Chain A
Amino acid sequence: MSVQVDTPARSERTPAWPMLRTLAGIATLSGLLVVLVYQVTKPIIAENERILTEQAVFEVLPEATSKADFILTEQGLVRAGEGASGVTVYAGYKADGRLRGVAFPGAARGYQDLIQFLFGYDPACECIVGSKVLRSTETPGLGDKIDSDPAFLRNFEALDARLNAQGTGLAKPIELVKHGTKSEPWEIDGISGATISGKAVARALNDAAQRVLPAIRQDLAILSDGAP
């Protein structure tokens, strides 16, 4: 015995079994708790999402009081819940059951991350009647003005979105122009200090409109009869 060790090193060696038992036990407990909470909160979260979407649809389609969901497929629009998968668009109806317009989602890369939008389209005037940011991480006070600046939001009172003669795309692509230089009805008047975010709005709207609006025109009858 040359060296006396104080710590009872040998006796503290834990065999594999208690470690295994502990980790398995804790993992089981953890799994049970997470599943329980998931089951409890799932319907509440789904309801929250439904309310949030409904509010957004009614915001971009003023005067709409009810909505119906449609899925955009290769062949055109079909009612949601019939097994089709694709982009969801929301038809909004007035109180008397007439079609007010269609809300469709769009997305584009902004200053920091992808910005997700919902746009409102009125087939009667063939124009965009509303825009709302659903999710963004744009700079507060600068880029986030695309969802709060009253002058910018006035762009979306009646933004021209007529289709070309063949009905395959927009007659004039929607573009962002510098603040104060808007001269055509399909141009969006930009915000100084939010150029990149503003361009993202125009890009998201143009891309989504090119895809969605031809389908809306083609299947306008389905939409008009779709009042819930």
Chain B
Amino acid sequence: MADLPNTTEDLTPDTFVRGLWRENPVFVMLLGMCPVLAVTNSTVNAIAMGLATTFVLVCSSLLVSLLRHWIPKQVRIASYIVIIATFVTIVDYGIQAISLELYAALGAFIQLIVVNCVILGRAEAYASKQRLHTTLVNSLGMGFGFTLALLALGTVREILGSGSILGMPLFGESFQPWVVMILPPGGFFVLGTWLLLFNWLRLRRERRVLEQAGVAANAG
């Protein structure tokens, strides 16, 4: 390590914030699509899934960062998977202890956090190279970014598909829920709409930056 250039990051607000927005794992990096589409049919499920993933992400990133000089690179992926699987098992028992109904609603997707590429991606691309405190802040940012994205989908799908939010009815008796929204296709519809919005905002910002720099914006 000593003869490599120093690539450790200094702690800045951006360490946290970029996970929320510029490098949002769902809306920008399009990682972890399986839980994003599968368990966001209600707000409660989205929050629970987001927090469970954040817990696993933060804990495994911290441990990977702590052990980064100790894990030979030939066995790093195996080590990361074991570390991640450990924390997933802990979350699995934790959710059963909190609420068995929630556990039943989330189904197999708790165990499937093991293969969530956001987490392995963070371990490989960030935690294994960075110091403990920046890893903590960065993985918290990524986790909250993931939770926010799940919430964005879950809230919209619950309002349209069940006419309620957090289980509380929003509309009167006459409201006919748009059932397709809480079925799998609804996940794709809502995700597509959010991606459209995110990309439109990003393009608009880029165009404004170009205009300010005095370059004529390309209409295409």
Contact = CB atoms under 8 A, between A and B. Distances in A.
B93 A37 contact: yes
A37 B89 contact: yes
A19 B75 contact: yes
Contacts of A181: none
Contacts of B161: 140-141
B83 interface: yes
A185 B11 CA distance: 72
B99 A41 contact: no
B104 A41 contact: no
Contacts of A140: 41, 161-162, 179, 182-183
Contact of A48 (B86, B100, B177, B179): B100
Nearest to B74: A14
Contacts of A41: 93-94, 96-97
Contacts of B162: 140
Contacts of B71: 22, 26
B90 interface: yes
B127 to A, nearest CB: 14
Contacts of A48: 96-97, 99-100
Nearest to A44: B97
B75 A23 contact: yes
A27 B179 contact: no
B186 to A, nearest CB: 10
Contact of A26 (B83, B182, B183): B83
A49 B100 contact: yes
A27 B78 CA distance: 10
A22 B86 CA distance: 15
Interface of B is mostly: helix
A30 interface: yes
Nearest to A48: B100
A52 B100 contact: yes
Contacts of A141: 161, 177, 179, 182-183
Contact of A34 (B72, B89, B179): B89
Given A140-B182, A140-B183, A26 B72 contact: no
B41 A30 contact: no
17 contacts: A14-B73, A14-B74, A23-B75, A26-B71, A26-B79, A30-B86, A37-B94, A41-B96, A45-B100, A48-B97, A48-B99, A52-B100, A52-B101, A139-B183, A140-B162, A140-B183, A141-B182
Shortest 8 CB-CB contacts between residues of A and residues of B: A141-B179, A30-B86, A14-B72, A44-B97, A41-B97, A41-B93, A37-B90, A45-B96
Interface of B: 41, 67, 70-75, 78-79, 82-83, 85-86, 89-90, 93-94, 96-97, 99-101, 104, 107, 161-162, 177, 179, 182-183
Given A22-B79, A26-B71, A41-B94, 15 more contacts: A19-B72, A22-B72, A23-B75, A30-B82, A34-B86, A37-B90, A37-B93, A41-B96, A41-B97, A45-B93, A48-B96, A48-B97, A48-B100, A52-B100, A142-B179
